[in-house]
Structure 1
Amino acid sequence: MEHNVETFVEKLDRTLTDEQRELLLFLYKNLHVDELSEEEQSFFVEYFFNSETLRNMAVFAIALVEIIHEIEGNIPAIELEERLANSEEQRLYYERKWNDAKLNDLKHQTTKQGNVFHVPFAKYKKEPGPIIICLEQTKGMAKYTEICKSMVLPLFVTAHREHRDLYIVPYNNLVHGHYRFEKGRLNLSYFTDFIECDVASEAAIIPVLQFVEGLLQKKQQCTDADIIIFTEGVPIDGRRLVEPSVKTMMQEMIHKYHIDVSVIAMQENNFKEQYFWFADKVFFAEDAIF
Protein backbone atom coordinates (compact mmCIF):
# COMPACT_ATOMS: atom_id res chain seq x y z
CA MET A 1 0.00 0.00 0.00
CA GLU A 2 2.80 2.43 0.91
CA HIS A 3 4.50 1.55 -2.38
CA ASN A 4 1.30 2.51 -4.24
CA VAL A 5 1.18 5.87 -2.49
CA GLU A 6 4.82 6.68 -3.24
CA THR A 7 4.43 5.58 -6.86
CA PHE A 8 1.51 7.89 -7.59
CA VAL A 9 3.08 10.80 -5.69
CA GLU A 10 6.19 10.48 -7.86
CA LYS A 11 4.09 10.34 -11.04
CA LEU A 12 2.52 13.64 -10.03
CA ASP A 13 5.94 15.12 -9.34
CA ARG A 14 5.02 15.80 -5.73
CA THR A 15 6.84 15.32 -2.44
CA LEU A 16 5.24 14.04 0.76
CA THR A 17 5.85 15.31 4.27
CA ASP A 18 5.70 12.72 7.05
CA GLU A 19 2.28 14.03 8.08
CA GLN A 20 0.92 13.87 4.53
CA ARG A 21 2.22 10.31 4.15
CA GLU A 22 0.42 9.27 7.36
CA LEU A 23 -2.83 10.89 6.23
CA LEU A 24 -2.68 9.44 2.73
CA LEU A 25 -1.90 5.94 4.01
CA PHE A 26 -4.84 6.21 6.41
CA LEU A 27 -7.17 7.16 3.55
CA TYR A 28 -5.79 4.38 1.34
CA LYS A 29 -6.47 1.84 4.07
CA ASN A 30 -9.91 3.07 5.17
CA LEU A 31 -11.28 3.84 1.72
CA HIS A 32 -9.61 0.88 -0.05
CA VAL A 33 -8.14 3.26 -2.59
CA ASP A 34 -5.73 0.55 -3.80
CA GLU A 35 -8.73 -1.27 -5.33
CA LEU A 36 -9.22 1.58 -7.81
CA SER A 37 -7.63 1.70 -11.25
CA GLU A 38 -4.26 3.42 -11.66
CA GLU A 39 -5.94 6.40 -13.30
CA GLU A 40 -8.40 6.71 -10.41
CA GLN A 41 -5.65 6.42 -7.82
CA SER A 42 -3.70 9.20 -9.54
CA PHE A 43 -6.83 11.35 -9.45
CA PHE A 44 -7.36 10.58 -5.74
CA VAL A 45 -3.77 11.47 -4.80
CA GLU A 46 -3.97 14.72 -6.78
CA TYR A 47 -7.28 15.52 -5.11
CA PHE A 48 -5.69 14.84 -1.72
CA PHE A 49 -3.06 17.52 -2.34
CA ASN A 50 -5.65 20.01 -3.59
CA SER A 51 -8.33 19.46 -0.93
CA GLU A 52 -7.66 20.95 2.48
CA THR A 53 -11.05 19.61 3.58
CA LEU A 54 -10.05 16.01 2.82
CA ARG A 55 -6.74 16.41 4.65
CA ASN A 56 -8.51 17.91 7.67
CA MET A 57 -11.05 15.07 7.60
CA ALA A 58 -8.21 12.55 7.70
CA VAL A 59 -6.63 14.32 10.69
CA PHE A 60 -9.94 14.24 12.59
CA ALA A 61 -10.63 10.63 11.61
CA ILE A 62 -7.25 9.38 12.83
CA ALA A 63 -7.84 11.07 16.18
CA LEU A 64 -11.37 9.66 16.40
CA VAL A 65 -10.26 6.11 15.68
CA GLU A 66 -7.82 6.34 18.58
CA ILE A 67 -10.39 7.62 21.09
CA ILE A 68 -13.60 6.03 19.82
CA HIS A 69 -13.79 3.51 22.68
CA GLU A 70 -13.29 6.27 25.23
CA ILE A 71 -16.01 8.34 23.54
CA GLU A 72 -18.46 5.45 23.63
CA GLY A 73 -17.73 4.92 27.32
CA ASN A 74 -18.00 8.53 28.41
CA ILE A 75 -20.69 10.11 26.23
CA PRO A 76 -24.15 9.38 27.67
CA ALA A 77 -26.78 7.49 25.71
CA ILE A 78 -30.42 8.52 26.12
CA GLU A 79 -31.86 5.06 26.39
CA LEU A 80 -33.68 3.06 29.10
CA GLU A 81 -33.04 -0.61 29.83
CA GLU A 82 -36.76 -1.28 29.79
CA ARG A 83 -37.08 0.14 26.30
CA LEU A 84 -34.08 -1.91 25.20
CA ALA A 85 -35.76 -5.06 26.48
CA ASN A 86 -39.01 -4.20 24.73
CA SER A 87 -37.16 -3.41 21.52
CA GLU A 88 -35.41 -6.77 21.59
CA GLU A 89 -38.69 -8.57 22.20
CA GLN A 90 -40.30 -6.69 19.32
CA ARG A 91 -37.31 -7.35 17.07
CA LEU A 92 -37.57 -11.11 17.67
CA TYR A 93 -41.34 -11.00 17.07
CA TYR A 94 -40.95 -9.28 13.70
CA GLU A 95 -38.05 -11.53 12.73
CA ARG A 96 -40.29 -14.58 13.31
CA LYS A 97 -42.99 -12.94 11.19
CA TRP A 98 -40.43 -12.27 8.44
CA ASN A 99 -39.25 -15.89 8.48
CA ASP A 100 -42.80 -17.22 8.39
CA ALA A 101 -43.67 -14.99 5.44
CA LYS A 102 -40.60 -16.04 3.47
CA LEU A 103 -41.20 -19.73 4.20
CA ASN A 104 -44.74 -19.25 2.93
CA ASP A 105 -43.35 -17.72 -0.27
CA LEU A 106 -41.00 -20.67 -0.72
CA LYS A 107 -43.88 -23.09 -0.35
CA HIS A 108 -45.94 -21.35 -3.04
CA GLN A 109 -43.01 -20.88 -5.43
CA THR A 110 -41.73 -24.46 -5.20
CA THR A 111 -42.35 -26.44 -8.38
CA LYS A 112 -42.13 -30.17 -9.15
CA GLN A 113 -40.97 -31.89 -12.30
CA GLY A 114 -41.26 -35.64 -12.02
CA ASN A 115 -39.69 -36.52 -8.70
CA VAL A 116 -37.55 -33.32 -8.62
CA PHE A 117 -38.58 -30.37 -6.47
CA HIS A 118 -37.28 -26.94 -7.48
CA VAL A 119 -37.08 -24.72 -4.41
CA PRO A 120 -36.05 -21.04 -4.97
CA PHE A 121 -33.81 -20.81 -1.92
CA ALA A 122 -31.98 -17.79 -3.38
CA LYS A 123 -35.10 -15.71 -2.78
CA TYR A 124 -35.03 -16.65 0.89
CA LYS A 125 -31.49 -15.46 1.44
CA LYS A 126 -31.18 -12.35 3.59
CA GLU A 127 -29.03 -9.49 2.39
CA PRO A 128 -27.08 -7.41 4.88
CA GLY A 129 -28.87 -4.12 5.36
CA PRO A 130 -27.25 -0.84 4.33
CA ILE A 131 -25.56 1.75 6.51
CA ILE A 132 -27.34 5.05 5.89
CA ILE A 133 -25.73 8.31 7.04
CA CYS A 134 -28.12 11.26 7.33
CA LEU A 135 -25.96 14.40 7.46
CA GLU A 136 -27.72 17.57 8.53
CA GLN A 137 -26.59 20.64 6.59
CA THR A 138 -27.50 23.87 8.40
CA LYS A 139 -25.81 27.16 9.24
CA GLY A 140 -25.39 25.95 12.81
CA MET A 141 -23.73 22.74 11.57
CA ALA A 142 -21.25 24.58 9.35
CA LYS A 143 -18.52 24.69 12.00
CA TYR A 144 -18.89 20.93 12.53
CA THR A 145 -18.88 19.99 8.84
CA GLU A 146 -15.36 18.57 8.66
CA ILE A 147 -15.58 16.66 11.94
CA CYS A 148 -18.92 15.12 10.93
CA LYS A 149 -17.65 14.10 7.51
CA SER A 150 -14.50 12.67 9.09
CA MET A 151 -16.65 10.40 11.29
CA VAL A 152 -18.03 8.85 8.12
CA LEU A 153 -14.60 7.70 6.84
CA PRO A 154 -14.18 4.70 9.19
CA LEU A 155 -17.67 3.50 8.19
CA PHE A 156 -16.32 2.70 4.73
CA VAL A 157 -14.23 0.01 6.41
CA THR A 158 -17.28 -1.49 8.12
CA ALA A 159 -19.37 -1.42 4.94
CA HIS A 160 -16.57 -2.93 2.85
CA ARG A 161 -15.82 -5.68 5.39
CA GLU A 162 -19.50 -6.63 5.80
CA HIS A 163 -20.37 -6.23 2.08
CA ARG A 164 -22.99 -3.61 2.89
CA ASP A 165 -24.05 -0.62 0.84
CA LEU A 166 -23.15 2.74 2.37
CA TYR A 167 -25.46 5.66 1.70
CA ILE A 168 -24.72 9.28 2.57
CA VAL A 169 -27.77 11.54 2.54
CA PRO A 170 -27.13 15.28 3.10
CA TYR A 171 -30.29 17.12 4.09
CA ASN A 172 -31.69 20.39 5.38
CA ASN A 173 -35.42 21.07 5.05
CA LEU A 174 -35.34 18.78 2.00
CA VAL A 175 -33.18 15.94 0.68
CA HIS A 176 -30.86 17.12 -2.09
CA GLY A 177 -29.87 13.76 -3.57
CA HIS A 178 -27.70 11.07 -2.02
CA TYR A 179 -24.50 9.11 -2.57
CA ARG A 180 -24.45 5.32 -2.73
CA PHE A 181 -21.21 3.40 -2.26
CA GLU A 182 -21.98 -0.17 -3.28
CA LYS A 183 -20.60 -2.67 -0.74
CA GLY A 184 -18.50 0.14 0.72
CA ARG A 185 -16.46 0.56 -2.47
CA LEU A 186 -15.19 4.02 -3.31
CA ASN A 187 -16.81 5.96 -6.13
CA LEU A 188 -14.57 8.98 -6.70
CA SER A 189 -17.22 11.20 -8.27
CA TYR A 190 -19.66 10.63 -5.40
CA PHE A 191 -16.89 10.91 -2.80
CA THR A 192 -15.60 14.28 -4.00
CA ASP A 193 -19.17 15.58 -4.32
CA PHE A 194 -19.81 14.48 -0.73
CA ILE A 195 -16.70 16.28 0.53
CA GLU A 196 -17.65 19.49 -1.24
CA CYS A 197 -21.42 19.46 -0.63
CA ASP A 198 -22.78 22.35 1.41
CA VAL A 199 -26.50 23.15 1.37
CA ALA A 200 -27.02 25.19 4.53
CA SER A 201 -30.59 25.96 5.63
CA GLU A 202 -32.94 25.03 8.45
CA ALA A 203 -33.28 21.29 8.98
CA ALA A 204 -36.43 19.18 8.94
CA ILE A 205 -36.05 15.53 9.94
CA ILE A 206 -39.26 13.95 8.60
CA PRO A 207 -38.43 14.37 4.88
CA VAL A 208 -35.09 12.60 5.29
CA LEU A 209 -36.68 9.77 7.29
CA GLN A 210 -39.25 9.33 4.52
CA PHE A 211 -36.44 9.33 1.97
CA VAL A 212 -34.63 6.62 3.95
CA GLU A 213 -37.81 4.53 3.98
CA GLY A 214 -37.91 4.84 0.19
CA LEU A 215 -34.32 3.56 -0.06
CA LEU A 216 -35.14 0.57 2.14
CA GLN A 217 -38.27 -0.29 0.17
CA LYS A 218 -36.03 -0.92 -2.84
CA LYS A 219 -34.13 -3.56 -0.85
CA GLN A 220 -36.93 -5.91 0.14
CA GLN A 221 -34.58 -8.74 1.13
CA CYS A 222 -32.39 -6.68 3.47
CA THR A 223 -32.29 -6.95 7.23
CA ASP A 224 -30.50 -5.19 10.08
CA ALA A 225 -30.12 -1.76 8.51
CA ASP A 226 -28.22 0.95 10.39
CA ILE A 227 -29.14 4.63 10.29
CA ILE A 228 -26.78 7.25 11.72
CA ILE A 229 -28.08 10.81 11.99
CA PHE A 230 -25.70 13.76 12.45
CA THR A 231 -27.65 16.72 13.82
CA GLU A 232 -27.71 19.84 15.95
CA GLY A 233 -30.67 18.17 17.61
CA VAL A 234 -33.43 20.74 17.05
CA PRO A 235 -35.27 19.99 13.78
CA ILE A 236 -37.89 22.57 12.77
CA ASP A 237 -40.50 19.81 12.48
CA GLY A 238 -39.54 18.16 15.77
CA ARG A 239 -43.02 18.45 17.29
CA ARG A 240 -44.43 16.38 14.43
CA LEU A 241 -42.17 13.47 15.40
CA VAL A 242 -44.39 12.75 18.40
CA GLU A 243 -47.63 12.83 16.41
CA PRO A 244 -49.36 9.41 16.22
CA SER A 245 -49.15 9.14 12.40
CA VAL A 246 -45.42 9.85 12.31
CA LYS A 247 -44.73 7.57 15.28
CA THR A 248 -46.60 4.76 13.54
CA MET A 249 -44.59 5.30 10.34
CA MET A 250 -41.30 5.16 12.25
CA GLN A 251 -42.25 2.12 14.33
CA GLU A 252 -43.33 0.18 11.24
CA MET A 253 -40.15 1.09 9.36
CA ILE A 254 -37.90 0.17 12.29
CA HIS A 255 -39.62 -3.16 12.81
CA LYS A 256 -39.84 -4.10 9.14
CA TYR A 257 -36.16 -3.50 8.37
CA HIS A 258 -34.74 -4.23 11.85
CA ILE A 259 -33.26 -0.76 11.95
CA ASP A 260 -30.79 0.39 14.57
CA VAL A 261 -30.85 4.19 14.80
CA SER A 262 -27.91 6.13 16.22
CA VAL A 263 -27.90 9.90 16.62
CA ILE A 264 -24.71 11.95 16.91
CA ALA A 265 -25.70 15.34 18.29
CA MET A 266 -23.24 18.20 18.34
CA GLN A 267 -24.00 19.66 21.78
CA GLU A 268 -25.96 18.19 24.67
CA ASN A 269 -27.50 21.50 25.74
CA ASN A 270 -29.07 22.01 22.28
CA PHE A 271 -30.46 18.49 21.98
CA LYS A 272 -34.22 17.85 22.25
CA GLU A 273 -34.43 14.30 23.57
CA GLN A 274 -38.20 14.00 23.10
CA TYR A 275 -37.91 14.51 19.33
CA PHE A 276 -35.57 11.53 18.92
CA TRP A 277 -37.59 8.97 20.86
CA PHE A 278 -36.94 6.40 18.09
CA ALA A 279 -33.13 6.40 18.54
CA ASP A 280 -31.44 3.34 20.04
CA LYS A 281 -28.34 5.35 20.95
CA VAL A 282 -27.57 9.06 21.19
CA PHE A 283 -23.99 10.31 21.39
CA PHE A 284 -22.87 13.86 22.09
CA ALA A 285 -19.86 14.80 20.00
CA GLU A 286 -18.54 17.60 22.23
CA ASP A 287 -15.71 15.52 23.68
CA ALA A 288 -14.49 14.62 20.21
CA ILE A 289 -14.65 18.16 18.89
CA PHE A 290 -13.27 20.29 21.71
Structure 2
Amino acid sequence: MWCDNCLLLLPLRAGAMAWGVIIALYSIAGGVFLLEWGQYLFFVFPEWQIYGGIALAIGATAAISVIALSNRSFLWTRVSKLIWPFVIVISAVRAIIMIVELQRGKSNIAWECENGGQLWTASAAAGYGGSTSFPSGFCTAGFSSIYAAFIGGLIVDLVFQLYMFFLVWRYQKRLQHYQNMQGPFGGGTSAFLFLSSSIYPLSLRNSLDPLRLLLLGYAMFCPPVSLHPHVCSIPHLAPLYSAFWDPVSIRDPCRQQYNTQRPVALAPTLAHHFHFRRPSESPFILCSIIYHPPNCDRKL
Protein backbone atom coordinates (compact mmCIF):
# COMPACT_ATOMS: atom_id res chain seq x y z
CA MET A 1 0.00 0.00 0.00
CA TRP A 2 1.36 3.41 -0.89
CA CYS A 3 1.76 6.24 1.61
CA ASP A 4 -0.04 9.44 0.65
CA ASN A 5 1.12 11.42 3.68
CA CYS A 6 4.79 10.47 4.09
CA LEU A 7 7.19 13.42 4.51
CA LEU A 8 4.40 15.97 4.12
CA LEU A 9 4.68 19.20 6.09
CA LEU A 10 1.30 20.42 4.82
CA PRO A 11 -1.73 18.82 3.15
CA LEU A 12 -0.51 17.40 -0.14
CA ARG A 13 -2.33 19.38 -2.81
CA ALA A 14 -2.85 22.65 -0.91
CA GLY A 15 0.63 22.48 0.60
CA ALA A 16 2.23 21.87 -2.79
CA MET A 17 0.37 24.84 -4.24
CA ALA A 18 1.52 27.09 -1.39
CA TRP A 19 5.08 25.80 -1.76
CA GLY A 20 4.98 26.47 -5.50
CA VAL A 21 3.71 30.01 -4.99
CA ILE A 22 6.60 30.75 -2.62
CA ILE A 23 9.14 29.40 -5.13
CA ALA A 24 7.55 31.35 -7.99
CA LEU A 25 7.58 34.62 -6.04
CA TYR A 26 11.18 34.56 -4.84
CA SER A 27 12.48 33.11 -8.15
CA ILE A 28 10.83 35.82 -10.22
CA ALA A 29 12.06 38.49 -7.78
CA GLY A 30 15.59 37.06 -7.93
CA GLY A 31 15.48 36.87 -11.72
CA VAL A 32 14.43 40.50 -12.01
CA PHE A 33 17.20 41.53 -9.60
CA LEU A 34 19.87 39.67 -11.59
CA LEU A 35 18.67 41.09 -14.89
CA GLU A 36 18.61 44.62 -13.46
CA TRP A 37 21.72 44.69 -11.22
CA GLY A 38 23.60 41.50 -12.07
CA GLN A 39 26.34 43.38 -13.94
CA TYR A 40 27.50 44.84 -10.61
CA LEU A 41 28.17 41.35 -9.22
CA PHE A 42 29.25 39.38 -12.30
CA PHE A 43 31.66 40.65 -14.89
CA VAL A 44 31.57 38.23 -17.82
CA PHE A 45 28.82 39.03 -20.30
CA PRO A 46 26.12 37.66 -20.41
CA GLU A 47 26.35 35.47 -17.32
CA TRP A 48 24.03 37.58 -15.15
CA GLN A 49 21.39 37.42 -17.86
CA ILE A 50 21.72 33.63 -17.96
CA TYR A 51 21.41 33.44 -14.18
CA GLY A 52 18.37 35.70 -14.23
CA GLY A 53 16.79 33.76 -17.07
CA ILE A 54 17.22 30.50 -15.16
CA ALA A 55 15.59 32.09 -12.11
CA LEU A 56 12.61 33.16 -14.23
CA ALA A 57 12.42 29.64 -15.68
CA ILE A 58 12.27 28.23 -12.15
CA GLY A 59 9.46 30.63 -11.33
CA ALA A 60 7.60 29.62 -14.50
CA THR A 61 7.99 25.92 -13.67
CA ALA A 62 6.64 26.53 -10.18
CA ALA A 63 3.71 28.47 -11.65
CA ILE A 64 2.93 25.60 -14.04
CA SER A 65 2.98 23.21 -11.11
CA VAL A 66 0.59 25.40 -9.14
CA ILE A 67 -1.80 25.64 -12.10
CA ALA A 68 -1.64 21.87 -12.64
CA LEU A 69 -2.39 21.21 -8.97
CA SER A 70 -5.18 23.78 -8.83
CA ASN A 71 -6.86 22.16 -11.87
CA ARG A 72 -6.16 18.64 -10.59
CA SER A 73 -4.75 17.88 -14.02
CA PHE A 74 -3.05 14.51 -14.33
CA LEU A 75 -1.43 15.52 -17.64
CA TRP A 76 0.09 18.80 -16.46
CA THR A 77 1.06 17.34 -13.10
CA ARG A 78 3.02 14.70 -14.97
CA VAL A 79 4.58 17.37 -17.22
CA SER A 80 5.66 19.30 -14.13
CA LYS A 81 7.12 16.15 -12.62
CA LEU A 82 9.20 15.60 -15.76
CA ILE A 83 10.42 19.21 -15.92
CA TRP A 84 11.55 19.59 -12.31
CA PRO A 85 14.58 17.22 -12.45
CA PHE A 86 16.07 19.17 -15.36
CA VAL A 87 15.41 22.47 -13.60
CA ILE A 88 17.02 21.20 -10.39
CA VAL A 89 20.17 20.00 -12.18
CA ILE A 90 20.50 23.30 -14.06
CA SER A 91 19.95 25.21 -10.82
CA ALA A 92 22.65 23.20 -9.06
CA VAL A 93 25.16 23.91 -11.85
CA ARG A 94 24.17 27.59 -11.81
CA ALA A 95 24.65 27.77 -8.04
CA ILE A 96 28.19 26.38 -8.26
CA ILE A 97 29.17 28.76 -11.06
CA MET A 98 27.64 31.77 -9.30
CA ILE A 99 29.55 31.04 -6.09
CA VAL A 100 32.83 30.66 -7.99
CA GLU A 101 32.27 33.83 -10.03
CA LEU A 102 31.33 35.87 -6.98
CA GLN A 103 34.53 34.83 -5.24
CA ARG A 104 36.52 35.66 -8.37
CA GLY A 105 35.02 39.13 -8.69
CA LYS A 106 35.16 40.19 -5.04
CA SER A 107 37.88 42.77 -5.70
CA ASN A 108 35.78 44.36 -8.45
CA ILE A 109 32.76 44.48 -6.15
CA ALA A 110 34.88 46.12 -3.44
CA TRP A 111 36.05 48.74 -5.97
CA GLU A 112 32.45 49.50 -6.95
CA CYS A 113 31.49 50.05 -3.32
CA GLU A 114 34.51 52.28 -2.67
CA ASN A 115 33.57 54.46 -5.66
CA GLY A 116 29.99 55.21 -4.77
CA GLY A 117 28.35 52.27 -6.47
CA GLN A 118 29.84 52.90 -9.91
CA LEU A 119 30.01 50.04 -12.37
CA TRP A 120 33.39 48.35 -12.76
CA THR A 121 35.42 50.24 -15.37
CA ALA A 122 35.81 47.33 -17.79
CA SER A 123 32.08 46.61 -17.65
CA ALA A 124 31.22 50.28 -18.11
CA ALA A 125 33.58 50.53 -21.08
CA ALA A 126 31.91 47.50 -22.65
CA GLY A 127 28.53 49.19 -22.28
CA TYR A 128 27.06 46.78 -19.76
CA GLY A 129 25.78 49.51 -17.48
CA GLY A 130 22.30 50.95 -17.50
CA SER A 131 20.36 53.68 -15.79
CA THR A 132 20.54 51.99 -12.39
CA SER A 133 23.28 52.16 -9.78
CA PHE A 134 24.54 49.56 -7.36
CA PRO A 135 22.24 49.42 -4.29
CA SER A 136 24.01 51.01 -1.33
CA GLY A 137 22.71 48.33 1.03
CA PHE A 138 25.02 45.76 -0.53
CA CYS A 139 28.06 47.92 0.10
CA THR A 140 26.98 48.59 3.67
CA ALA A 141 26.65 44.87 4.36
CA GLY A 142 30.07 44.10 2.90
CA PHE A 143 31.22 41.41 0.51
CA SER A 144 31.41 38.65 3.11
CA SER A 145 27.75 39.16 4.02
CA ILE A 146 26.72 39.25 0.35
CA TYR A 147 28.72 36.10 -0.33
CA ALA A 148 27.22 34.24 2.64
CA ALA A 149 23.70 35.39 1.71
CA PHE A 150 24.12 34.16 -1.87
CA ILE A 151 25.42 30.78 -0.76
CA GLY A 152 22.64 30.36 1.80
CA GLY A 153 19.97 31.52 -0.64
CA LEU A 154 21.14 29.18 -3.39
CA ILE A 155 21.19 26.20 -1.02
CA VAL A 156 17.71 27.01 0.31
CA ASP A 157 16.50 27.42 -3.26
CA LEU A 158 17.74 23.94 -4.18
CA VAL A 159 16.10 22.43 -1.09
CA PHE A 160 12.80 24.13 -1.94
CA GLN A 161 12.98 22.87 -5.51
CA LEU A 162 13.75 19.31 -4.41
CA TYR A 163 10.80 19.31 -2.03
CA MET A 164 8.55 20.81 -4.69
CA PHE A 165 9.54 18.00 -7.03
CA PHE A 166 8.73 15.49 -4.30
CA LEU A 167 5.30 17.05 -3.73
CA VAL A 168 4.45 17.04 -7.45
CA TRP A 169 5.67 13.46 -7.77
CA ARG A 170 3.67 12.43 -4.71
CA TYR A 171 0.47 14.01 -6.03
CA GLN A 172 0.97 12.52 -9.50
CA LYS A 173 1.40 9.10 -7.92
CA ARG A 174 -1.78 9.57 -5.94
CA LEU A 175 -3.68 10.36 -9.12
CA GLN A 176 -2.08 7.41 -10.87
CA HIS A 177 -2.88 4.95 -8.09
CA TYR A 178 -6.52 5.93 -7.97
CA GLN A 179 -6.92 6.01 -11.73
CA ASN A 180 -5.45 2.52 -12.01
CA MET A 181 -7.96 1.05 -9.59
CA GLN A 182 -10.27 -1.39 -11.30
CA GLY A 183 -13.52 -2.66 -9.90
CA PRO A 184 -15.59 -4.22 -8.75
CA PHE A 185 -13.77 -5.59 -5.72
CA GLY A 186 -14.82 -8.50 -3.55
CA GLY A 187 -17.98 -9.28 -5.49
CA GLY A 188 -19.23 -5.73 -5.33
CA THR A 189 -21.07 -3.88 -8.05
CA SER A 190 -19.44 -0.90 -9.67
CA ALA A 191 -20.87 2.53 -9.10
CA PHE A 192 -22.56 3.09 -12.44
CA LEU A 193 -24.10 -0.42 -12.48
CA PHE A 194 -25.33 0.07 -8.97
CA LEU A 195 -26.98 3.33 -9.83
CA SER A 196 -28.45 2.18 -13.12
CA SER A 197 -29.89 -1.00 -11.64
CA SER A 198 -30.84 -0.37 -8.08
CA ILE A 199 -30.96 3.25 -6.98
CA TYR A 200 -34.67 3.80 -6.55
CA PRO A 201 -35.18 6.38 -3.83
CA LEU A 202 -38.57 5.79 -2.29
CA SER A 203 -39.56 9.38 -2.90
CA LEU A 204 -38.60 9.30 -6.60
CA ARG A 205 -40.28 6.57 -8.64
CA ASN A 206 -39.62 7.93 -12.12
CA SER A 207 -36.56 6.23 -13.65
CA LEU A 208 -36.05 9.25 -15.94
CA ASP A 209 -35.89 11.71 -13.10
CA PRO A 210 -33.34 14.47 -13.94
CA LEU A 211 -31.55 14.10 -10.62
CA ARG A 212 -31.11 10.37 -11.14
CA LEU A 213 -29.72 10.95 -14.61
CA LEU A 214 -27.35 13.52 -13.12
CA LEU A 215 -26.12 10.96 -10.61
CA LEU A 216 -25.63 8.42 -13.36
CA GLY A 217 -23.54 10.90 -15.34
CA TYR A 218 -21.34 11.61 -12.35
CA ALA A 219 -20.89 7.96 -11.54
CA MET A 220 -19.71 7.01 -15.03
CA PHE A 221 -16.68 9.28 -14.66
CA CYS A 222 -15.62 8.05 -11.24
CA PRO A 223 -13.46 5.03 -10.38
CA PRO A 224 -15.34 2.67 -8.07
CA VAL A 225 -13.66 1.75 -4.83
CA SER A 226 -14.55 -0.77 -2.19
CA LEU A 227 -16.25 0.30 1.02
CA HIS A 228 -17.31 -1.87 3.91
CA PRO A 229 -19.71 -4.66 2.88
CA HIS A 230 -23.39 -3.71 3.01
CA VAL A 231 -22.50 -0.04 3.21
CA CYS A 232 -23.40 2.46 0.54
CA SER A 233 -22.30 6.04 0.80
CA ILE A 234 -22.46 9.03 -1.52
CA PRO A 235 -20.03 11.35 0.24
CA HIS A 236 -19.57 14.04 -2.39
CA LEU A 237 -23.29 14.49 -3.01
CA ALA A 238 -24.27 14.77 0.64
CA PRO A 239 -25.39 18.43 0.44
CA LEU A 240 -27.33 17.73 -2.75
CA TYR A 241 -29.07 14.73 -1.24
CA SER A 242 -29.91 16.58 1.94
CA ALA A 243 -31.56 19.30 -0.09
CA PHE A 244 -33.95 16.87 -1.80
CA TRP A 245 -34.78 14.17 0.73
CA ASP A 246 -33.73 12.99 4.13
CA PRO A 247 -33.13 10.20 4.79
CA VAL A 248 -32.39 8.61 1.46
CA SER A 249 -33.46 5.02 1.03
CA ILE A 250 -32.35 2.61 -1.66
CA ARG A 251 -34.06 -0.64 -2.44
CA ASP A 252 -32.13 -3.84 -2.27
CA PRO A 253 -31.04 -4.98 -5.77
CA CYS A 254 -31.95 -8.53 -4.76
CA ARG A 255 -35.61 -7.65 -4.28
CA GLN A 256 -36.67 -9.37 -7.50
CA GLN A 257 -34.89 -12.58 -6.58
CA TYR A 258 -35.94 -12.76 -2.94
CA ASN A 259 -39.05 -10.60 -3.15
CA THR A 260 -37.72 -8.46 -0.36
CA GLN A 261 -37.07 -4.80 0.09
CA ARG A 262 -34.16 -3.80 2.29
CA PRO A 263 -33.79 -0.04 2.43
CA VAL A 264 -30.20 1.04 2.88
CA ALA A 265 -30.01 4.46 4.51
CA LEU A 266 -27.31 6.74 3.23
CA ALA A 267 -25.25 8.49 5.87
CA PRO A 268 -23.93 11.71 4.34
CA THR A 269 -22.56 12.93 7.67
CA LEU A 270 -20.19 9.96 7.78
CA ALA A 271 -18.76 10.69 4.35
CA HIS A 272 -15.67 12.43 5.63
CA HIS A 273 -14.68 9.34 7.61
CA PHE A 274 -14.08 7.39 4.41
CA HIS A 275 -10.62 7.70 2.87
CA PHE A 276 -11.57 6.32 -0.54
CA ARG A 277 -12.19 9.69 -2.11
CA ARG A 278 -11.54 10.75 -5.65
CA PRO A 279 -8.03 12.19 -6.08
CA SER A 280 -9.49 15.50 -7.20
CA GLU A 281 -11.17 15.89 -3.81
CA SER A 282 -13.86 17.87 -5.56
CA PRO A 283 -17.23 18.23 -3.79
CA PHE A 284 -20.49 17.06 -5.31
CA ILE A 285 -18.79 14.32 -7.34
CA LEU A 286 -20.11 10.80 -6.92
CA CYS A 287 -17.22 8.37 -6.71
CA SER A 288 -16.81 6.24 -3.64
CA ILE A 289 -19.49 3.64 -4.21
CA ILE A 290 -19.22 -0.10 -4.22
CA TYR A 291 -22.26 -2.02 -3.08
CA HIS A 292 -22.06 -5.62 -1.91
CA PRO A 293 -25.57 -7.09 -2.25
CA PRO A 294 -26.38 -9.05 0.91
CA ASN A 295 -26.91 -12.74 0.22
CA CYS A 296 -27.19 -12.12 -3.48
CA ASP A 297 -25.14 -14.04 -6.05
CA ARG A 298 -27.00 -12.80 -9.10
CA LYS A 299 -25.10 -10.32 -11.25
CA LEU A 300 -26.90 -7.09 -11.95
TM-score higher than 0.5:
no
Higher strand share: 1
Structure exhibiting the larger radius of gyration computed from Cα positions: 2
TM-score, normalised with respect to structure 2: 0.21
